[in-house]
Chains A and B, each alone.
Chain A
Amino acid sequence: MAYSEKVLDHYENPRNVGSFAKEEEGVATGMVGAPACGDVMKLQIKVGKDGVIEDAKFKTYGCGSAIASSSLVTEWVKGKTIDQALEIKNTQIAEELALPPVKIHCSILAEDAIKAAVADYKKKHEG
């Protein structure tokens, strides 16, 4: 299958690959998996005192579209509040990367990873 230029760009030069130390202040982790293709995605956000996401990192085992989707959302969430981050929809990710229908689940995975990371943050800081 032919990947779009944007997918290839993120795939070949993924942004923000890596991990934060879990104990680090303001760090929250979202782990999700896509059974359809066996992809696993870890998205971490680092949230400042003002509730704004200062930095994000990801580690994804999966196809080019899954890597591109997670790379893209680490760029998108930076500078957003956690509530703004929750507004990112998989359709926006799919559109930006021009994902074909069979790869839509990769964008769903990335959206769910954000939700999972924010939920982890809220659990740690509001619970």
Chain B
Amino acid sequence: MSIDLQQDYFALFGLPRRFDIDEGALEAAFHALQGEVHPDRHAHLPDADRRRAMQWATRVNEAFRTLRKPLARALYLLEVRGVDSGLETNTAMSAAFLMEQMEWREAVEEARAGGEVGELEHLHQRLRQHGRSVLAELQAQFAADDLQAAADTARRMMFIEKLQNDIDEALEALES
């Protein structure tokens, strides 16, 4: 058993390198590989082999974590396709999108300050729905191999995810 650390995550699990993946196949491939590389199986081997097995196990876990989440998978796929998703540098989102984000955040802030749990749950629902439609856009863009558009959508999803975390945090704070 050995793992080629140069392989990309898709190849590691024997999956085609595309956004739409078979989640069942990913899961099955992950469990099979995880069993192979588990440190316990290499406990009787010399240090160098154990270290290498540890590296493989880490790689397999990281690959699985990346591919199972749509946004992480999208960012990774863009990276291996050589497209800079501009997370650190691209601040010029569309004005309408940013305005909408501002309004969402204001609504969350107000609901949190006013202790309105029902309103936060409503925002949570609405945002999830919105997130699903954005994910559908992303799927279509990858299917059409429009990687620049996909990068733009992935950037938007970063904001949506952050917002979702903010709402969860606000709900937790109010419920505790």
Give the interface of A toward B (CB within 8 A). Answer: 31-40, 42, 59, 61, 104-105, 108-109, 112-113, 116
Contacts and interface: CB of A to CB of B under 8 A. Distances in A.
Contacts of A38: 158-159, 161-163
A54 B95 CA distance: 24
A37 B162 CA distance: 7
B90 A35 contact: yes
A112 B162 contact: no
B98 A35 contact: no
B102 interface: yes
A36 B101 contact: no
Contact of A105 (B88, B95, B163): B88
Contacts of B159: 33, 35, 38, 40
Q: Kindly list the 4 A-B residue pairs having the minimum CB-CB distance in the complex, ordered from nearest.
A: A38-B162, A35-B155, A61-B105, A35-B158
A33 B163 contact: no
Query: Interface on chain A toward B: helix, strand, loop, or mixed SS?
Result: mixed
A61 B102 contact: yes
Contacts of B91: 32-35, 108-109, 112-113
Residue with the highest number of chain B CB atoms closer than 10 Å, among A33, A39, A59:
A33
Interface in B91-135: 91-93, 95, 97-99, 101-102, 105, 109
B88 A33 contact: no
A33 B98 contact: yes
A38 B159 CA distance: 4
B149 to A, nearest CB: 15
Contacts of B105: 40, 61
Contacts of B154: 35
B32 interface: no
